[in-house]
Structure 1
Amino acid sequence: MLDRMTAEARRRGAADDATRDYAGPFPLGPSASARTKTWTAWRNLGIGGKIGRIFHQSGNLFIVIAGASLFVVLAIALSTELFAKNSPSVLYSECIDMIRGSDALDRYLLPPVSFTHSPTSSAPTRGTAPIMHRVVRHPQSGRDHLIINFWAHGRGRDEPEPLSRPKRWVRKATDSLRKAGSWLGLASDPEGPEYPPTKEEREKAAADAKAEREKAAAEAQRGPGFLGRLTQAFNFRPDVKNVRSASPDPPPAGTYKIGEVHADYVKNASGHYTMLALVVDVPSSRAAYPGRAIVYWSPEANKEGLIGVK
C-alpha cells in the first residue's frame, strides 16, 4: 500500500514538472496541482490566510524583483568605477594614452611598451592587484592629491621586435623577391653591400668619442666665465638640483626593460582631479641614478606637485 502511494506521488510529481516552466532552478507560475486545486474565496480568508495567499502567489514576482535589484546595483557600481572622472581606472587609462602619444620614453624603452599594475611584465590582466593609488593632502596648500603608480615594460636591445602576422608575411615576401632578383641579376643594392667596420674605423670612432668626452669634462671643470659668474651672483632664484641626477647620459634604449610610472593629480575647485605631472623613472625610482622621462609637467607642478624634481 505504501509503495503504491509513493509511486503515485512520484508519477504526479513527474507530470507536474513536465507541464511546468522553469527559469533555472526556479519554477514559473503555479503548478498543475495548484491550478486544479479548489481555493477558498478571498472574502472568506482571515488575515493570516490572506498574507499566506499573497506570499504564495507572488513568490515569482519577488524573485524577479530581487534579480532586477541586483542588476541595477551591479550596473551602478560598474558605471561609477568605469565612467567616473575621479575613478583611478579612468585616470590610469588617461596616463597610458598620454605615454603612448608621447616620445619621451623612446630614449629609454624600446617598443612595444606594455603596462601592468605590478613590476612583473607577465602579470595577467585579470587577477592582478588593483591600481596602486593613494590620496595625499599637500602639507602647505592643503589640497587633495591623487598619486597613481604603475609600471611600463619595454623590449631589450637583444630581443627582436615582435611583428604581427601581416608584417611577417610582407617581410618574408620582400626577402624572397630580393633574393630572387639578386640571383637573376635583376636587382641590386643601390648602397652596395654592407661590410663590418674595419679595425682602423673602429679605432677612429673610439678616439673621436674619447676626445668629445674629454672636451666636455674640461669645459665642466673650467666653469662659467666672468659674465656667467656675475649673472649667477645676482640670481636669487634657488638652484633646483638633485645629486642623483648628476649621472652621465642615459644608456641606449633597451638597456632596461622596465620603468616606474608616477602620476600626480590635484583636485580642483569643481572637485575633479587634474593632472600636474606624469613621469617615468627607468628602471625605478629606487635606482642609484634613474633616468626620468617627463611625459607631462605643468607649470603648477613646480610649486604644488608632490613628485620630486630629478
Structure 2
Amino acid sequence: MSAAQTLFVVVGALALEATFGYPDWLYQRIGHPVSWIGRLISLLDRKLNIESDSATVRRNKGILALGILIVVTGAVAWTVEQVFDRVAFGAFFIALLASTLIASRSLYDHVVAVARSLDQYGLDDARQAVGRIVGRNPKTLDEHGVARAAIESLAENASDGIVAPVFWFAIFGLPGLVVYKAINTADSMIGHRTPRHEAFGWAAARLDDLVNLPASRLTAVLLAIASVFTQGASVAGALETVARDASKHRSPNAGWPESAIAGALGLKLNGPKTYGETRVEDAYMGDGRRDATAEDVRAALRLTTTAWGIMTGALLLLAIILPA
C-alpha cells in the first residue's frame, strides 16, 4: 500500500474501533489478539527465564525472548497484510484487524464507568470500577483519589493505547502496529522490577519506554490543541504544566499526557501512590486542585475525545493530500 492508502486504512480502523469496539461475544469465543501475543510471551518466559541462571544470563535471555517475539509477530502481521493487500476489499479487512489493537472505545467505556459509579453507586463501586484500569491499590483511595486515578489512567492510556499504536501503524503499516502491541504487552507482563522479571524483563521495559517516546509527546501536543476546542480547558495551562512537570515523572513517558491534562483542567495529579502494600513516591503533575470529582473525569474524557478527533482529522487530511 502507498502512504496515502495506509493512512486511509488507519482512519478506517479508528472509526471501526470507536463505533464497535471489540465485542464480548467474540472475546469469549476466540480471545483477543493481545491475549494471543500474551500466550507467546508466557511460553518464552517459562522456557527461557530460569531462576537458577545468573542475572546476566537472564537479561540476555530476555533480549533473546524479545527478539523472538518481535520477529514472530512482525512476520505474521507482514504476511497477513501482504495477503489482504492482494484481494478485493483487503483494505477493509486490514482496518478491521487493526481496530482490535486500538483501545479508544474500551478506554472510554471503562473511564466513564468510574464517573458513573462516583455519581450513582458510591465509593465502593467506584473503587471496583477504577481497579479495572489502574495497578494501584484502590482500597487506599477516597472519592477524589478514585477520580484522579481514572484521569491519570485515561491520560497514560490515551498515549500507549491509542496514539502510539496509531503512530506506528501509520508509519509501518500493520506490522508496525502489531510489533508495537507485542512490545507493550511484553512490558506489561514481564517488564517489572520483581525478583523473577527484573533481569529477564529489562529489555522489554527499556524498549517499551523507547517506542512510546514519540507518542507520549504527540499526545501532550494533541491534548493542548484540544484544549482550544474544549470548554473550561486551558491551552496555556496545558503547555506550561508540560514544560514544567512532564520530565519530573517517574516514567519517561507518562508525565507528558498526565501533565497536559492536569494543566488543561486545573488539577494536581500523580504524586505518591500505593501498589499493593508498597508506597511509591512520585512527582506531582500540575499545581491545581487535588479534589477531583466525577465531573472532572467527564471533562478529561471530553478533552481526550476531542484530541482523538483532531488526530483522526489530521490523518484523513494527510491521506487526501498525499499521492495515491
Q: Same fold (TM over 0.5)?
A: no
The alignment's TM-score, normalised by the length of structure 2, stands at 0.19
The alignment's TM-score, normalised by the length of structure 1, stands at 0.19
By percentage of residues, which structure has more helix?
A: 2
Larger Rg over CA atoms: 1
By percentage of residues, which structure has more strand?
A: 1
* Higher relative contact order, structure no. (Cα contacts within 8 Å, ≥ 6 residues apart): 2
